[in-house]
């Protein structure tokens, strides 16, 4: 009996040692966090500003205090000022799966990459031109550019899992955690705080604003800058039988047809857009809801007006049952020239080999004609101006994130009926609880992915306080700042927003 007892003790000891060794084997080593600090000087708002750039990894920890993710950010902080009350703006792009390179090198950063303002030509290959951002806003606010986990240099570490970050709620929670951590470390709790997001970054901004009110550390925001907003996906998802999208996309089709001189001749852009708004709300909407109850003459009348606004052939529109999907519009608007137009920006054109495909087959010319310039510019700027040296590539986008993204808004096990993503109600609730928060919504007329009319549709609903919303419009696309006049106008509009 005694020998059996000793044997059991020995076995338990061995199991304990084995489990400890296994735990050590399974635990991934935590790398040392990298940080790069440089000093700079520039002219912003006609003022010479000295500032510090801090590019670094920030570790996010789990409930046990273990680092599980490394989030990369680049901050620009003005020197020689009382920073505790100075505004700070947190910036991110969209995707999901995009790093902050676009807003960093296209709008808000100290240096910007120069691309063809008129979208007439591909920017080709290196070298690309970088210019000082003469419309920068560093005189008004510090900036913190954020790359969500899986983008840029951000990644999971240790025992971290991407599942904890690649989702609507998970992403919002991690960005809110980083923001609180940054504010605490930099002693900026009393600073006015803004967020600037683009595309899915606007979806994120509304969700993060909601998360920041909870968790026992209520962080009230002073404002949101929403560039090419995408809060309610019902109005920005062109697909069969989605009546909302037929309505929200039509005015953008009209604007783009006007740009390419296929419609609205003799009229100003604004006048033609107003005409399309009126038709959409008062004629097209009721007709879509009547469906097959329309008479033949009514259907013919609608087809004629759609041809008038879109520049497409009336017979083609009739065969489409008066419902025009965006990828078909992209392919057919300039079909006689053999061009497909861009989705992110309808000004762009791509010469495709297959002229009879239903939609663009090369990809989006508004993306592939400028993405190499942005990628090269950021990497060059990091190395030459910020002295950043990392042992892994900077991912301007991560294609594997989208397919694994968790859109579910409730925990597993909870009842949930799938529906289009919509964070606009969260924004409405935040605005009503935080009566000081204001919102700037910037939309491009030629944006064929998050249409400007969808912004109007979304912000007239969802409990949003319209009196504190500024709607601005630009003669560009999704990234309207690639159009030089819009870069200037958008910068001035944001400057006004920050100072009013």
How far apart CA 169 and CA 410 sit, in angstroms, is: 8
The tally of domains found in the chain comes to 2
Residues 298 and 426 in one domain: no
Give the domain-ending residue among 366, 392, 418: 366
Residue 21 lies in a domain: no
Residue 379 lies in a domain: yes
What are the residues facing 94 on neighbouring strands? none
How far apart CA 297 and CA 314 sit, in angstroms, is: 14
Report which of 423, 441, 458 is spatially closest to residue 228, judged by C-alpha positions. Answer: 441
Report the chain's mean pLDDT, rounded to a whole number.
Answer: 92
Give the domain-ending residue among 366, 381, 415: 366
Query: How does pLDDT run across 201-236, given as a tens digit for each residue?
Result: 999 999 999 999 998 899 999 999 999 999 999 989
Residue 256 lies in a domain: yes
Quick check: 25 pLDDT over 60? no
Residues 338 and 427 in one domain: no
Report which of 300, 461, 459, 380 is spatially closest to residue 111, judged by C-alpha positions. Answer: 380
- pLDDT score of 139: 96
* Separation of CA 117 from chain center: 21
Identify the CATH number of the domain in which residue 446 sits.
3.40.50.1820
Residues 358 and 396 in one domain: no
56: left (phi over 0), alpha (psi -120 to 50) or beta: beta
Give the domain-ending residue among 344, 366, 388: 366
Quick check: 352 pLDDT over 50? yes
Please report, for residues 123, 234, 336, 346, the alpha-carbon distance to residue 237 in angstroms, rounded to integers and kept in the order given: 29, 6, 27, 16
Residue 22 lies in a domain: no
Torsion, Cα 313 319 321 325, to 10 degrees, reads: -60
Quick check: 19 pLDDT over 50? no
Query: How does pLDDT run across 293-339, given as a tens digit for each residue?
Result: 999 999 999 999 999 999 999 999 999 999 999 999 999 999 999 99
- pLDDT score of 15: 43
Number of other residues whose CB lies within 10 A of the CB of residue 166: 24
19: exposed, middle or buried (C-beta count within 10 Å: 0-12, 13-18, 19+)?
exposed
Quick check: 21 pLDDT over 50? no
Residue-number span of the structural domain to which 429 is assigned = 35-234+371-499
């Amino acid at each position: 009996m005694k020998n059996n007892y000793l044997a059991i003790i020995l076995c338990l000891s061995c199991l304990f040692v084995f489990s400890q060794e296994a735990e050590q084997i399974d635990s991934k080593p935590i790398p040392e966090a990298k940080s790069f600090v440089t000093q700079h000087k520039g002219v912003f708002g006609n003022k010479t500003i000295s500032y510090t750039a801090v590019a670094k990894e920030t570790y996010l920890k789990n409930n046990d205090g273990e680092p599980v993710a490394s989030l990369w950010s680049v901050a620009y902080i003005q020197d020689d000022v009382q920073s505790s009350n100075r505004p700070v703006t947190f910036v991110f792009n969209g995707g999901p799966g995009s790093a902050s390179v676009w807003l960093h090198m296209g709008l808000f950063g100290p240096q910007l990459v120069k691309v063809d303002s008129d979208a007439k030509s591909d920017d080709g290959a290196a070298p690309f031109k970088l210019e000082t951002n003469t419309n920068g806003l560093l005189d008004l606010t510090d900036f913190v550019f954020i790359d969500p986990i899986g983008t840029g240099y951000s990644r999971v570490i240790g025992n971290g899992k991407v599942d904890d970050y690649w989702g609507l709620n998970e992403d919002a929670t991690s960005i809110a955690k980083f923001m609180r951590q940054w504010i605490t470390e930099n002693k900026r709790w009393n600073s006015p705080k803004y967020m600037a997001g683009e595309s899915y970054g606007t979806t994120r901004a509304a969700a993060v604003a909601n998360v920041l009110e909870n968790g026992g550390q209520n962080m009230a925001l002073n404002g949101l800058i929403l560039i090419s907003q995408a809060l309610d996906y019902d109005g920005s998802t062109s697909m069969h039988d989605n009546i909302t999208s037929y309505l929200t996309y039509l005015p953008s089709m009209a604007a783009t047809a006007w740009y390419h001189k296929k419609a609205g001749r003799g009229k100003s852009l604004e006048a033609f857009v107003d005409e399309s708004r009126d038709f959409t709300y008062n004629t097209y909407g009721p007709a879509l809801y009547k469906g097959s109850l329309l008479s033949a003459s009514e259907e013919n009348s609608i087809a004629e007006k759609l041809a008038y606004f879109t520049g497409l052939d009336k017979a083609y529109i009739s065969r489409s049952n008066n419902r025009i999907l965006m990828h078909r519009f992209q392919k057919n608007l300039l079909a006689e020239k053999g061009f497909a137009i861009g989705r992110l920006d309808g000004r762009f054109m791509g010469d495709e080999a297959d002229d009879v495909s239903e939609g663009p087959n090369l990809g989006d010319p508004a993306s592939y004609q400028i993405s190499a310039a942005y990628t090269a510019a950021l990497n060059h700027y990091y190395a030459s101006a910020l002295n950043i040296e990392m042992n892994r590539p900077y991912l301007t986008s991560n294609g594997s994130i989208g397919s694994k993204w968790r859109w579910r808004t409730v925990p597993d096990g909870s009842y949930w009926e799938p529906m289009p993503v919509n964070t606009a109600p969260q924004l409405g609730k935040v605005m009503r609880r935080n009566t000081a928060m204001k919102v700037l919504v910037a939309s491009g007329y030629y944006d064929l992915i998050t249409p400007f009319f969808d912004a109007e549709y979304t912000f007239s609903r969802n409990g949003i306080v319209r009196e504190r919303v500024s709607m601005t419009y630009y003669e560009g696309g999704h990234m309207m700042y690639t159009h030089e006049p819009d870069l200037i106008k958008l910068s001035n509009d944001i400057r006004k927003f920050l100072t009013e």
